[in-house]
Chains A and B, each alone.
Chain A
Amino acid sequence: MSRMLRTMLVLGVWLPFAGTAWSADLPRTLDVETLRAIPMQHDGRWPPLDTIARDLVEKVTGTQFLHGEDPVLVLLAWTFDPIGWTNEPVISIGSAALRSELELPETQSVYSLNELAKHRPLQLLIAGLARKAPGEKFDPLESKVNDIDDKIMTLRQIMAGGVLHPIPNVGDPLGAWGTIKQASTAGATMKPAIDAWADVRTSFLADDAAAFADASSRFAGALSALPAAHRPDLGRLAIELRYHKLNPYRWAWMVMVVAAMLATVGLFVRRSWFDVLIGVTLTVGFAILTYGLWMRWTIAGRIPASNMFESLLFLSWGMGAIAILAIIVLRHRSVPLTAAIMGAVSLMLADLLPAMDPFIRPIPPVLADTIWMGIHVPIIMVSYSVLALAVLIAHVQVIAMAVLPTRRGMIARLDQVHYWYIHIGVILLIAGIITGSMWGASSWGRYWGWDPKEVWSLVAAMGYLTILHVRVDHDRVRWWGYGVGLLAVVGLAAIVLPKFADLATEGNGKLIAFCGAGVAMGLFLLARGAFATAVKSIVAFWMILMTYLGVNYILGIGLHSYGFGTGAVAQKMIFYGMIDLALIAACTVVYLLRRPRSTTYAAPAVSPPTLGAAT
């Protein structure tokens, strides 16, 4: 497994660099473990150099392992040999469209600092960014140019020795730590550290292992001898080193992928010992993930629930947790299968999507110093997990009812599992909304403020509540009841539509949106069979996705937009939404065409309503 991992990693990083020259060589004999563990101030914390190197190398090159090399070695090379590295291709511009827009050579995708700094079209665009009014938004090209500018600036700063802050602050425990350069003007106490660092540099450039080891340990010793108002906890540093070395999330999703494959096989094997094997594998993946979360929690000193990456971890964790409970309670083979698939997918998204930032960052004041983050976020993420499991089951159910309408037993059991997931999910979702409301009351002074995130979470909850109510609604509504309902719908349309009359929308977007809303309302209100419930659950889950991603990425408004992402996510959401819609539409057509021959899947026939009379 470890070899496979390494091969994958090396392949993964090598691919974008294929065909580029690599002339500056890294020292091969040095042992950087001493330096790797030295704590320095970075991004509001005191991580070991290892973390800083991973962060900075990823920031510049887009990957932690440039050419598969140790990031600490790469960072030291940039620091010690700036001139040699200004001509090395390290900054990757992957998109050919962007390259041609910037008039960069077509044949090349990775560029050196020098090439980019001298490239006039790029520099003109960068200069244009500075002229933007404060607060003005970047267009897509500008934000890409800004990214490249950030990479150039970071690399320049590294080469100027401005990113490593190992010199402790004497007076203020929360004060800024100094760079080696700043220390060189600070007097005699700094001399051992500065001299040792100079020796580290010399021996690094000479690739002299013995001298390097000696200089490194002298440097570490000199730093720890300096007076400091605060020093990071050594145990925590060790955990952080282990955390990055292990990469627990990658292990966890790999184990979950194995569990998912086993669970697929398990559908045909149908042996209880095999089910136990599946359960154990899933539990192992879950345990690794839990261990990773615990490490991250310890390192950050707060619950890891502050950004998209961390919430995906909780999403996966919630699926594991619910699945382990559900395996015991529901005893159905779809439970471990769906949990393993969804758990692995959300972890893979966190681990592999380039937009995800795996590093521990400062969190805004509203998230800091409150127990509510630790209550609200896990609850809401677990509720998303359960509903995500439900939506997967719903897809299976929809496809099964269209393709295998004769497998009534299987369909009925899927329907049951789906129902339990929705029921539990909606309780957790409402618990999440309620805890969020209480958090809002304690930080903003109001328990409800019609913030878009709040509103969409309520929209999704109402969607699910409608499903649950309509599902068990066997009361025959009087004709005038339908009439009043229809009137209300028409009334709302009459009120809402004119408000959007003056909004220009591209093409027929508005028409499509309102037709879609109308169809969805009709579906939610009038269709009540098992098939319809599954379809509605899929639609409702898109409301969850809208809450989770859309409010930030599509609407881009509100107090909960903590500043991540650009338009690409919105396009992807629409793209996958369309695929999903097409799939459901196809299944619905097939299902409806085949239905006359088999009419009994709709929610089981019920005796005539005897409401009110106690059963």
Chain B
Amino acid sequence: MSDSSNSALRRICHTFGSMWFAAVILMLLLVGMASATAGESMKSTEWAKHHFYDAWWFEGLLWLLAVNVLFSILARLPLANRQIGFVITHVGILVILAGALVTKHLGVDGQLGIREGQTMSQFLDRADVIRFIHPDTKKERNVLLTPSSIGGLAPIDNLTMAPISMGGVKVTLLKYAPDSDFVQEVLNDNRTEHKAVEVVLRDAQGDASAWVFAHGPTTIGRQRVAYRVAKDPVEFDRLLTQEAADDVDQTKIVRIEFETAVYELPLNRCLKEAVPVGKTGYSVHVLRYLPHATVGNDGKLKNVSPQPTNPAIELELIGPDGTQQRKAFAKFPDFSSMHGGSDAAKDLKITFLVPTPKVNRTPIEIIEGSDGELHVRLALAGSKVVSQKLNIGEAVNLPQAEATLTLARRFDHARQAQTVQPREDVRDKRVPAVLVSFASGEVRFEQWLQKYQGQRVVVGQQFVELLYGEKEAELGFNIRLDKFKVGRYPGTSRPRSFESHITLIDPDTGSVQSRVVSMNNPTQFGGYTLYQSSYRQDGDAWISFLSVSHDPGRAIVFAGYIMLLLGMVVVLCIRMADRQAVDKAAAALDERGESATRSGSASGNGSRAKGSVRNKMGSKVGAQVATAE
């Protein structure tokens, strides 16, 4: 190497290895990290990791730091003895950075959730995969997603992945969304008739809209809205005009018709005793009341629930021609005539009347007539009722609520569908999703798939099963959780320790070992270190979460730590030795100075002079030290 190229190299080393560059890089890292913690406080840990610690420029700064440190050493070649501390320190920094690089690329940091009594041989490796399960063979196939992009906070609109064929279905991943939600959607594609209307309520606070189904009222904003379909014009009129029902007599009635006369007896009385039916000579005694009667295998009635689904009674009719048993069903008033009974007292018809439950009127009701027209019925203050015709898109004033009501859509075959949709504002506990396209022959559609949600997707005649989850990696040994214990401070509920009592089984050697993993006490086995991470109670059993780590970089980093500390101490010692040398020199100067002034009495002046001399010397040696390093 020629002298000139040598000096050019030296110049480059000097500039890139200069303290100025070191200071710039340190400052940039410092400001970057401080901003990251501020961002973490305001947003989330993951946000800070994504935008700062794991960002390309942050790693770039660390690389620059490494280059700077390396060049600062190169610039000082050949090294003097007194620079030993400097070299150890700065090589230590390089070793730490190298170790971190090894950890980043070769380290395994997974998790293992294990239930008491369970044995596992795999752990989750924190890399996203799509797992396909073959419909026939049940064989699994894992497709690893690009670890750097998928799983992060940034949405991806064009995933470039080769399509995967499985069981005649071609599956392609199209997009990635960092967060997703289940969205309720109402579609008009139900095979059976199912009526629903979408209603928009507008008041001072803004718009609120919801679907109202014909089977029950819905709350929109602060209003209850119901949707009723009338079977016939009579019911339509009744629904439209009926006021909030007053107290209808709710007693159940046993009605007896005999020779044009009608007798009505309250059920409760007939249950207690045989009640004479007027002057007919008959008495009725109800033996059983069955709110939900069904006919059992033996042909007898039995009750299956307390709900008045099929109210029925069994009764004894006691008359001049003896006692006979009868049944009566509220919903089938003609039962006894249909099925007869005995000939005796056949002119006596017994029906069971159960009052229809009070129609619980809703303040706002949308009522569909048998002609298909919609009307809205509003219950106003003072049990006043108004109604008017309702057309799609027309606003109706709601006088009682200072709001307007608009009918937006009307479906006759409504179906509530749950679909996954990406979210724009990413939450703290987010659920990532991928948009998957399925194709088989002519059939082709797209669907979002949420993480950890397994799905069986029907594509034409074919189907596929797939799961978006985390990669399972083999431990190489089996681990069984025998017991999980939470140690508590005596007499309190405060936890003192979390302990997983595990058994480790090596299938190759057959060795079986019992270990305890607790906070601060990891255990090592088969190349992995297991740490107590967290726990959960699931029913009676505990589930313990262990961190599974394999980190070849750690030893390197720790070696770097030791070098860094050692080097800094050596630097300090050398500086202190320098300082003592300066003091000695100053003392020597002092003596000379004192003999020169010859007046030992002016101690104040003397010490001040001594100080300034020492300062001058100190700075000179200090400068030399600095120059040397």
A residues in contact (CB < 8 Å) with B? 41-46, 165, 174-177, 230, 329, 362, 364-366, 368-370, 372, 408-410, 412-413, 416, 423-424, 426-427, 430-431, 434, 437-438, 441-448, 450, 452, 455-456, 458-459, 462-463, 465-466, 469-470, 472-475, 477-478, 480-482, 484-485, 488-489, 491-492, 495-496, 499-500, 503, 517, 521, 524-525, 551, 554-558, 603-604, 606-607, 609-612, 614-615
Contact = CB atoms under 8 A, between A and B. Distances in A.
Nearest to A370: B520
Interface of B: 10, 14-15, 18-43, 45, 48-49, 51, 53, 55, 57, 75-76, 78, 80, 100, 103, 109, 487-492, 494-498, 518-522, 529, 531, 533, 547, 549, 551, 554, 557-558, 561, 564-565, 568-569, 572, 575-576, 608, 611-612, 615-616, 618-620, 622-629
Contact of A365 (B21, B57, B495): B495
B40 A368 contact: no
10 contacts: A362-B496, A364-B495, A409-B611, A448-B100, A450-B48, A455-B34, A469-B19, A472-B629, A473-B18, A614-B78
A465 B26 contact: yes
B519 A369 contact: yes
A434 B520 contact: no
Given A44-B490, A477-B15, A484-B21, 14 more contacts: A43-B489, A165-B491, A175-B490, A438-B558, A445-B522, A445-B533, A462-B27, A466-B30, A489-B24, A521-B27, A557-B45, A604-B615, A607-B623, A611-B76
A431 B103 CA distance: 21
A365 B572 contact: no
A44 B491 contact: yes
A370 B55 CA distance: 34
Contacts of A430: 564-565, 568
B40 A610 contact: no
Contacts of A503: 39, 42-43
Nearest to B499: A365
B78 A485 contact: no
Nearest first, the 4 A-B pairs at minimum CB distance are A44-B489, A604-B619, A472-B626, A409-B611
Contacts, number: 254
Contact of A369 (B21, B23, B55, B518): B518
A521 to B, nearest CB: 5
Contacts of B43: 503
Contact of B491 (A177, A423, A462, A554): A177
Contacts of B24: 484-485, 488-489, 525
Contacts of A176: 490-491
Contacts of A442: 520, 522
Contacts of B80: 614-615
A521 B31 contact: yes
A459 B33 contact: yes
A456 B32 CA distance: 11
Nearest to B100: A448
B529 to A, nearest CB: 6
Contacts of A364: 495
Among B22, B37, B48, B529, the one with the most A-chain Cβ atoms within 10 Å of its Cβ is B37
Contacts of B625: 472
B533 to A, nearest CB: 8
B616 A408 contact: no
B40 A557 contact: yes
B329 to A, nearest CB: 49
Contact of A612 (B10, B520, B619): B10
Contacts of A615: 80, 624, 627-628
Nearest to A165: B491
B57 A492 contact: yes
A423 B576 CA distance: 11
Contact of B51 (A42, A426, A480, A499): A499
Contacts of A469: 19, 22-23, 26
A554 B103 CA distance: 32
A448 B557 CA distance: 10
A446 B109 contact: yes
Contacts of B32: 492, 496
A441 B316 CA distance: 84
Contact of A604 (B489, B521, B565, B616): B616
A406 to B, nearest CB: 11
Among B27, B533, B576, B624, the one with the most A-chain Cβ atoms within 10 Å of its Cβ is B27
Contact of A555 (B38, B492, B618): B38
A179 B366 CA distance: 65
Given A368-B497, A485-B21, A458 B33 contact: yes
A426 B575 CA distance: 15
B519 A368 contact: yes
B23 A470 contact: yes
Contact of A408 (B18, B575, B576, B612): B612
Contact of B575 (A423, A473, A477): A423
B629 to A, nearest CB: 7
A44 B492 contact: yes
Contacts of B15: 477-478, 480-481
Contacts of B14: 475, 611-612
A462 B29 contact: yes
Nearest to B80: A614
A475 B520 contact: no
Contacts of A525: 20, 23-24, 27
Given A176-B491, A427-B568, A555 B41 contact: yes
A44 B20 contact: no
A521 B25 CA distance: 11
Nearest to A605: B619
Nearest to B567: A427
B626 to A, nearest CB: 3
Nearest to B529: A445
A299 B525 CA distance: 37
A603 B618 CA distance: 11
A611 B629 CA distance: 8
A488 B28 contact: yes
B490 A500 contact: no
Given A430-B565, A555-B41, A43 B492 contact: yes
Given A44-B494, A434-B565, A521-B31, A369 B18 contact: no
B149 to A, nearest CB: 19
A334 to B, nearest CB: 13
Nearest to A178: B491
A472 B619 CA distance: 10
B41 A475 contact: no
A216 to B, nearest CB: 23
A290 B234 CA distance: 95
B12 to A, nearest CB: 10
A438 B100 CA distance: 14
B75 A416 contact: no
Contacts of B10: 612
Given A475-B14, A525-B23, A41 B490 contact: yes
A442 B532 CA distance: 10
Nearest to B35: A496
Nearest to B74: A612
A427 B85 CA distance: 13
Contacts of A437: 557, 561
B15 to A, nearest CB: 5
A462 B30 contact: yes
B494 to A, nearest CB: 5
A499 B35 CA distance: 10
Contacts of A488: 24-25, 28
Contacts of A556: 41
A417 to B, nearest CB: 12
Given A474-B623, A551-B37, A362 B18 contact: no
Nearest to A494: B57
A219 to B, nearest CB: 20
B612 A409 contact: yes
A475 B20 contact: yes
A151 to B, nearest CB: 20
Given A462-B26, A485-B20, A495-B57, A456 B558 contact: no
Contact of A434 (B100, B491, B496, B564): B564
